[in-house]
């Protein structure tokens, strides 16, 4: 186990530093091993000071809502930083520009923009993560993508230094964004358009109604597991392979939406990872298509190995 006691004095930070924190409390699948250390900063200044005090050899991972994350049963070495409570501001910068912190949920960002009469990020209401996660993977839904309306972003690095970037500084693709190693998004500015708040809210309601009709909401999942292959849909391929309802341990392919894996209540991370691999292998064998997982799989298995 990494020993941070010689490097960090918890009294100098306003945030909360926990040891052996179960990551099942911080992922939407509600499973997985422990993080050696888990830090919840009080604010951006606290986060900057904490990062600056960390030894360079300590692995660092960020987590928002944990909705796109599978932590293996052996847990995580190093430290996990949770930014959901510290980075949660929504600021209207101009009549058409907003600045949104990385820890704010996508749903709240979409609804606040609607309240301000600003259109362009309604689709974010259907994404169960935070703005930081949406920026990092260029999350999308209903034909919208996070970076379409983004104009700039701020990051923080391992030394606690804040960097400012324009959209043009990043290479942006389908579910991918280039980001320097050991830098994490802390905010972004979006350029939107003025519209009737009630019409925007109605669009959001319609999207959420459609989502509820098609997806297994209220069950433990991470959202979509696989990216859509070019010109096709992951759910269609999985369903056509006869995998709806297929189960390994406590993990099952949703009967409602084939690109969702549901934890029925007692799934281990190993169950879920095995099911992800089985789906990929079956689709490859039946359709000659290589599936790419959207979900990020991290940590060690029960044998202590990182795959």
Residues classed as catalytic: 175, 224, 294
Q: Which of 82, 97, 72, 125 is nearest to 268 (CA)?
A: 72
For 168, residues 6+ apart whose C-beta sits below 8 A from its C-beta are none
- CA atoms of 236 and 224, how far apart (whole Å): 13
User: Cα–Cα distance between 82 and 19 in angstroms, integer?
Assistant: 14
- The answer to whether the beta carbons of residues 269 and 30 sit under 8 Å apart is no
What region does 211 belong to: left with phi over 0, alpha with psi -120 to 50, or beta?
Answer: alpha
Whole-Å CA distances, 229 to 127, 128, 135, 236, 289: 19, 21, 21, 11, 8
How many CB atoms are closer than 10 A to CB 133?
Answer: 26
CA-to-CA dists, residue 81 to 141, 249, 291, angstroms: 27, 30, 30
Element containing residue 118 per DSSP (H, E): strand 118-119
Rg (CA), the chain: 20
Map residue 97 onto helix, strand or coil: strand
Quote the CA–CA distance of 227 and 141 in Å, as a whole number: 12
Task: Please provide the size of the chain in residues.
Answer: 307
């Amino acid at each position: 186990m990494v020993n941070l006691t010689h490097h960090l004095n918890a009294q100098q930070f306003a945030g909360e530093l926990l040891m052996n924190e179960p990551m099942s409390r911080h992922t939407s699948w509600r499973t997985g091993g422990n993080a050696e250390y888990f830090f919840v900063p009080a604010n951006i200044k606290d986060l900057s000071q904490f990062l600056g005090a960390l030894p360079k050899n300590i692995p660092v991972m960020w987590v928002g809502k944990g909705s796109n994350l599978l932590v293996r049963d052996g847990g995580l070495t190093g430290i996990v930083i949770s930014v959901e409570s510290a980075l949660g501001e929504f600021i209207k910068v101009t009549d058409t520009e907003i600045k949104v912190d990385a820890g704010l949920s996508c749903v709240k960002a979409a609804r606040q923009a609607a309240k301000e009469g600003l259109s362009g990020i309604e689709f974010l209401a259907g994404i169960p993560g935070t703005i930081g996660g949406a920026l990092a993977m260029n999350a999308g839904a209903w034909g919208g993508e996070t970076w379409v309306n983004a104009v700039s972003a701020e990051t923080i690095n391992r030394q606690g230094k804040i960097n400012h970037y324009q959209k043009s500084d990043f290479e942006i693709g389908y579910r991918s964004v280039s980001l320097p190693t050991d830098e994490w998004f802390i905010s972004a500015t979006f350029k939107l358009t003025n519209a009737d708040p009630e019409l925007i809210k109605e669009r959001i309601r319609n999207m959420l109604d459609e989502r509820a009709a098609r997806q297994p909401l209220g069950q433990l999942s991470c959202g979509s597991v696989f990216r859509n292959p070019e010109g096709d849909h992951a759910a269609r391929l999985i369903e056509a392979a006869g995998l709806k309802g297929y189960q390994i341990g406590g993990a099952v392919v949703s009967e409602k939406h084939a690109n969702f894996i549901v934890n029925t209540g007692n799934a281990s991370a190993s169950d879920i990872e095995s099911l992800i691999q089985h789906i990929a292998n079956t689709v490859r064998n039946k359709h000659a298509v290589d599936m790419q997982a959207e979900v990020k799989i991290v940590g060690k298995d029960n044998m202590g190995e990182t795959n």
